[in-house]
Amino acid sequence: MSDQHMDATPVWVEGSTLAAPVILGAAAGLLVGDMMHSNARRGIGISLGVLGILAFVPLVVDGVAGLITGPRSKFGVNRKIQKIRDIGIGSPSHDDVDDMLREQGVI
């Protein structure tokens, strides 16, 4: 028996769940589109397009930052090596627990 967690939800359910708001919005747009004046449709369309683009900005910024400073980039590797080197800086040569054990005669 495998120790891995088995997810019973099929992949297509997640995809359709994410696509549902888009499909409903398109359907509403088609139904309401003819009722609106063409200038109003144009303004709303442009503003929704701008909002859609702005919604993708964090994803793009995160992706670019991951490419530049990610674990497989030059900067990411250097940062990881520096963190490993910094672990030893400032650590005492002995521990308080060691002192207490020596006082009690355990070591």
pTM of the model: 0.45
Among 85, 11, 69, 22, which residue's Cα sits nearest to residue 48?
A: 22
Domain ranges of the chain: 9-69, 71-107
Model pLDDT for residues 38-67, shown as the tens digit of each residue? 788 888 888 888 887 888 888 888 888 888
Which is it for the CA torsion 41, 55, 53, 13, positive or negative?
Answer: negative
Could you give the count of Cα atoms lying within 13 Å of 62 in the half-sphere of its Cβ? 5
d(CA 107, CA 98): 8
Model pLDDT for residues 9-32, shown as the tens digit of each residue? 666 666 667 777 888 888 888 778
